[in-house]
Amino acid sequence: MEIITQLHAWTEAFLPKHLFLVDIEQKGAGKKITVCIDGDEAIDIYACQNLSKHLSEKLDEGDFGSEAYVLEVSSPGAERPLKVSRQYPKHVGRELLIKLNSATELTARLDEVNEQGITVALKDKKKGYKDAPVKEFPFTEIAEATVIISFK
């Protein structure tokens, strides 16, 4: 079984209900693997440590070649795009940079999330969010969405 598929299964089976898998990336010559997890609320370093230990033990038990893997388990970080729909709800009220599949890019405040997509208030360059038009976007139309960090 391919290692990424196996890591996927081990991660999904191990994580508690409030945590979820965002992505698994294999980099370099294939020996560096990054597992990215997130939570419905904040995620702490202990969740990453526990998963890392669990996955390392599983890798050691299995036969995935003679070379050692470099395993990294982390949360996505504020600068990384939202990859799965379950990441959106904790960002309601925050500003997003949204890139649509149509190559349109916009800045909007995330107002609502449902199973099909998001509802946002579109930011006007001059008026900000005053009388902002509201628009719905299904997840299938969103190529990438990133939380805009504000220090105001």
The pLDDT of residue 129 is above 70? yes
Whether 105 and 132 map to the same domain: the answer is yes
Whether 67 and 14 map to the same domain: the answer is yes
Q: Is the pTM of this model over 0.75?
A: yes
Whether 70 and 118 map to the same domain: the answer is no
How do residues 27-81 score in pLDDT, each as one tens digit? 877 689 999 999 998 899 999 999 999 999 998 887 766 677 889 999 998 889 9
How do residues 89-106 score in pLDDT, each as one tens digit? 999 999 999 999 999 999
Whether 56 and 9 map to the same domain: the answer is yes
* Class of residue 65 by CB neighbours under 10 A (exposed 0-12, middle 13-18, buried 19+): exposed
- The two structure tokens encoding residue 88: 């959106």
Mean pLDDT, the chain, integer: 91
